Amino acid sequence: MFRIVTSLDDLMKAFMVRAIVFMEEQQCPYEIEVDEFEYSALHILGEIHGEPFAAGRLRFLGDYAKLERIAVRRAFRGKGYGHQLVDFMMSVAREKGFRKFKMHAQAYLTDFYRQHGFEVKGELFQEANIDHYLMIKIETE
């Protein structure tokens, strides 16, 4: 269901999911949605029966794995896939030795990410004209 992107075809599928969710639904402009980190990030794709439905991106910054661009298409929401995607992304980061995680979470999703052990740090800020909070999770050995 979820896998690390290893082909151009899978990368295109991940970008399509992100375009649907962020550019179409949330009106995020292309120049903000696609950035200079696309080539250095680790991309995740969710697919069911050949249909791409979820995507995410991981970047490794110092001691932290940063979860980014987490998206699930509307028709696939409410089925637990978002939680499974976050769990998969964190397991990939753990396999690489990371125990500290961070993200810029859209404000309305903070309760969702709290279910994964993330805590809000700092003040509300705007990113792509959307309210966000920095959220952190630190696991002890």
| pLDDT per residue as tens digits for the range 50-83 | 999 999 999 999 999 999 999 999 999 999 999 9
What is the reported pLDDT for 73? 98
Do the beta carbons of residue 84 and residue 2 sit within 8 Å? yes
Q: What is the pLDDT of residues 101-141, one digit of tens each?
A: 999 999 999 999 999 999 999 999 998 889 999 999 999 86
What is the reported pLDDT for 140? 85
Domains and CATH numbers, the chain: 2-138 (3.40.630.30)
What is the reported pLDDT for 24? 95
Whole-structure pTM value: 0.94
